[in-house]
Amino acid sequence: ITFNFGFLSITIKTMLREQIKNQLKKAIKENIEIEVFVPQNDKFGHYSTNVALKLGKILKKNPMELANEIKSQLGKQTGFTGLIDKTSVESPGFINFWLSTETIQKEFVEIFKAKKNWGRPRKKLLIEVSRGKPFGSDQSKSSGKKKIIVIDYSHPNIAKPMSVAHLRSTIIGQALYNIFRFSGWKVVGDNHLGDWGKQFGILITAYKEKLTTNNQRPTTKKITIKDLMKLYVDYTSRMESDPKLEDAAREETKKLQEGNKENIKIWKEFYRISLEEFKKIYKILGVKFDYYLGESFYAPMLPEIIRDALKKGVAKKSQKAIVIFTDKDKPPFIIQKADEAYLYSTTDIAAIKYRVKKFKPDTILYVLDNGQSLHFEQLFKSVKMLSYDNNVNLIHVKFGLILSEDMKKLSTRAGRHISLEDLLNETIIRAKKIVNKKQPSLSEKEKNKIAEIVGIGALKYNDLSQNRQSDITFKWEKMLNFEGNSAPYLLYAYARLKSILRKARFKKYDSKFTKHLTQEIELKLIRDLDEFPDIIKRAVEIYYSHNIAEYLFSLAAVANSFYHELPVLKAKKGEREARLALIGAISQTLKTGLNLLGIEVLEKM
Ligand code: ARG
């Protein structure tokens, strides 16, 4: 039988399930929905069905008897024995299936051949398992259009140091970027910088003041974000007791917004200084963006948004401000203040309108901490009310805080001044100490490279392997531990697999050796590898990656026992090649998975 699944994205695993379903359908002849699932424990088979229980209810018959009848009927059907090796009936009426070794071996050839594409959803796949023919796949692109996703992440504020929340957003956003792209989406990464608003009037005033008191261009000394931050903080604290200072700042904001040349020039300077520092961090993290459309980009569109919202009757005047009532039990969503200033919310409405028109996305993701939930809830409602959304799927990808080892909030704000760059460098220094101890004979250059990949990998993995919405702790020991569920463990596992392949001079593989993969742990590894596409699919559905991390960790652990349990380099001909190929497929899957998390791998460690 040939199943043609057309343009459906489908994995081999799903396909095997479909085949079992079809076999059951033939055996039952009753028109009921058949469910085939993967049991948690292999003890209950590779697949299992409750169809006899369902049928028992309908026909008022004993489900155990029915299950046995179905089992014996299946055994007589063509195509069944090649697919399934063992069938068992389990009380109160489950039927469990074990795939035949031959079927699993065929899966392996498919996985091995896919190489770095293993895990991508398949658009089109034809299989002829039941005729005992090898899997034939057609991975050609479907004629369907690619789905488009815009990811709004990182988004720090100009003239303010990047915070740990921005760090989380950057790491999570980049992982989502990779995962969606790998899954065949067209991805637009946008850094919505906080680069507009009244804080710039304050800064410009403070900056000009400093110019006159210093009576020199401050550019003689390099200004950093920290200096700008200080200017801002000092000025605002003086502003509290002196209203004249506030008027001056308001005046400068107004001039900036009206395009005053001098103010624009100073603002651009703030922009340059800030971006230079942000880019240092992006470089360490290996992060790039397709666009930097900050808040200022949308400024010219804001008056029209207000006019339109009023015209449509969506927005109303309320105590001189202009607001949208999104819900009865929630505060109004303010889009223009009494002093006519626009807000963060107005810009976000304009940004959705713009993005929908420019990128025609199916989905827009906002990667921000839990704290902004209300803002996004109201924003999404408002754009629907304004009919700007064009049915785009708007998602707030929420995350928790990063806590320090003593469970306190780790922040760059008042009190605890942690610069992100220092934090990243500290991680690398700590990783270097470990590398020094483990690999004293390596050259300094090699050690530095390893330390950088291990340190940054550890930081990312610590974030991406945990539940997205819970607060995560920042524990150096755990992050950099080579034994536990950590990036160093996975990187080391990968490097060891690669070193076996190097020693064996493993290059090409002939699938005629596949028949030698018969040991339980080998078959388990193949079935684990086969799960990878489903793992990726799930990550796309939940907008997160901790299931990828979990999967990689368990794959690495099983691979570890595999080469301790069975000889590889010293195995006899045929087995040796087959086991090397298995190691090849495992290492490739580890690499693909780690890369999706934004973690680079090392061939040697
Ligand atoms: N700059 C903002 C902050 O630091 C985040 C911007 C998020 N993106 C957005 N479209 N609102 O909190």
Q: What is the pLDDT of residue 10?
A: 45
| pLDDT over 70 (residue 85) | yes
**DSSP letter for each residue of 152-203:** E----BTTSPPPHHHHHHHHHHHHHHHHHHHTT-EEEEE---B--STHHHHH
| pLDDT over 50 (residue 139) | no
Q: Which two tokens stand for residue 2?
A: 């040939």
| pLDDT over 90 (residue 364) | yes
Q: What is the pLDDT of residue 140?
A: 35
Residue 15's SS3 state is helix
Q: What is the pLDDT of residue 562?
A: 97
Q: What is the pLDDT of residue 210?
A: 85
Q: pLDDT tens digits for 288-346?
A: 999 999 999 999 999 999 999 999 999 999 999 999 999 999 999 999 999 889 999 99
Rounded CA separation 299/294 (Å): 10
Rounded mean pLDDT, 92-105: 94
Q: Which atom of ligand 1 is the closest one to the Cα of 379?
A: 11
- Tell the residue nearest (CA) to atom 5 of ligand 1: 155
Confidence of residue 134 (pLDDT cuts 50, 70, 90): very low
Q: Which atom of ligand 1 is the closest one to the Cα of 163?
A: 4
Q: pLDDT tens digits for 140-178?
A: 333 457 899 999 999 999 999 998 899 999 999 999 999
Q: What is the pLDDT of residue 82?
A: 85
Q: Among 296, 385, 381, which residue's Cα sits nearest to residue 342?
A: 296
Rounded CA separation 567/583 (Å): 12
Q: Which atom of ligand 1 is the closest one to the Cα of 351?
A: 10
Distance, CA 369 to ligand 1 centroid (Å)? Answer: 10
Rounded mean pLDDT, 107-129: 75
Q: Which atom of ligand 1 is the closest one to the Cα of 376?
A: 11
Q: What is the pLDDT of residue 141?
A: 36
Q: Which atom of ligand 1 is the closest one to the Cα of 344?
A: 11
| pLDDT over 60 (residue 7) | no
Distance, CA 208 to ligand 1 centroid (Å)? Answer: 27
Distance, CA 367 to ligand 1 centroid (Å)? Answer: 9
| pLDDT over 70 (residue 412) | no
Rounded CA separation 248/373 (Å): 34
Q: What is the pLDDT of residue 197?
A: 86
Residue 27 Ramachandran class (φ > 0 left, ψ -120 to 50 alpha, else beta): alpha
Distance, CA 156 to ligand 1 centroid (Å)? Answer: 7
Q: pLDDT tens digits for 515-537?
A: 999 999 999 999 999 999 989 99
Distance, CA 162 to ligand 1 centroid (Å)? Answer: 12
Distance, CA 560 to ligand 1 centroid (Å)? Answer: 43
Rounded mean pLDDT, 388-392: 97
Q: What is the pLDDT of residue 409?
A: 64
Q: Which of 291, 352, 368 best tests ligand 1's pocket when mutated (most atoms within 8 Å of CB)?
A: 368
- Tell the residue nearest (CA) to atom 4 of ligand 1: 156
Helix %, strand %, coil % of the chain (to 5)? 55, 15, 30
- Tell the residue nearest (CA) to atom 1 of ligand 1: 194
Share of the chain above pLDDT 90, in %: 77
Distance, CA 370 to ligand 1 centroid (Å)? Answer: 12
Q: Which atom of ligand 1 is the closest one to the Cα of 192?
A: 8
Confidence of residue 11 (pLDDT cuts 50, 70, 90): low
Q: Which atom of ligand 1 is the closest one to the Cα of 157?
A: 1
Q: pLDDT tens digits for 35-59?
A: 998 888 888 999 999 999 999 999 9
Distance, CA 352 to ligand 1 centroid (Å)? Answer: 13
Q: Which two tokens stand for residue 575?
A: 């087995």
Distance, CA 153 to ligand 1 centroid (Å)? Answer: 8
| pLDDT over 90 (residue 135) | no
Q: Which of 191, 192, 298, 342 best tests ligand 1's pocket when mutated (most atoms within 8 Å of CB)?
A: 192
Confidence of residue 3 (pLDDT cuts 50, 70, 90): very low
Distance, CA 155 to ligand 1 centroid (Å)? Answer: 5
Rounded mean pLDDT, 187-195: 98
Q: Which atom of ligand 1 is the closest one to the Cα of 165?
A: 4
Which residues fall within 8 angstroms of residue 157, CB to CB, at 6 or more apart?
193, 194, 195
Query: Mean of the per-residue pLDDT values for the chain?
Result: 90
- Tell the residue nearest (CA) to atom 8 of ligand 1: 192
Q: What is the pLDDT of residue 377?
A: 98
Rounded mean pLDDT, 219-226: 75
- Tell the residue nearest (CA) to atom 11 of ligand 1: 348
- Tell the residue nearest (CA) to atom 6 of ligand 1: 155
Q: Which of 152, 153, 155, 413 best tests ligand 1's pocket when mutated (most atoms within 8 Å of CB)?
A: 155
Confidence of residue 126 (pLDDT cuts 50, 70, 90): very low
Q: How many C-beta atoms lie closer than 10 Å to residue 215's C-beta?
A: 6
Angle at 179 between CA 527 and CA 351, to 5 degrees: 155
Distance, CA 178 to ligand 1 centroid (Å)? Answer: 21
Distance, CA 292 to ligand 1 centroid (Å)? Answer: 12
Distance, CA 372 to ligand 1 centroid (Å)? Answer: 9
Q: pLDDT tens digits for 564-583?
A: 999 999 999 999 999 999 99
Pocket of ligand 1 (CB under 6 A): 152, 155-157, 192, 194, 348, 351, 366, 368
Q: What is the pLDDT of residue 152?
A: 98
Distance, CA 194 to ligand 1 centroid (Å)? Answer: 6
Rounded CA separation 533/547 (Å): 12
Q: What is the pLDDT of residue 403?
A: 82
43 DSSP assignment? G
Full-model pTM: 0.89
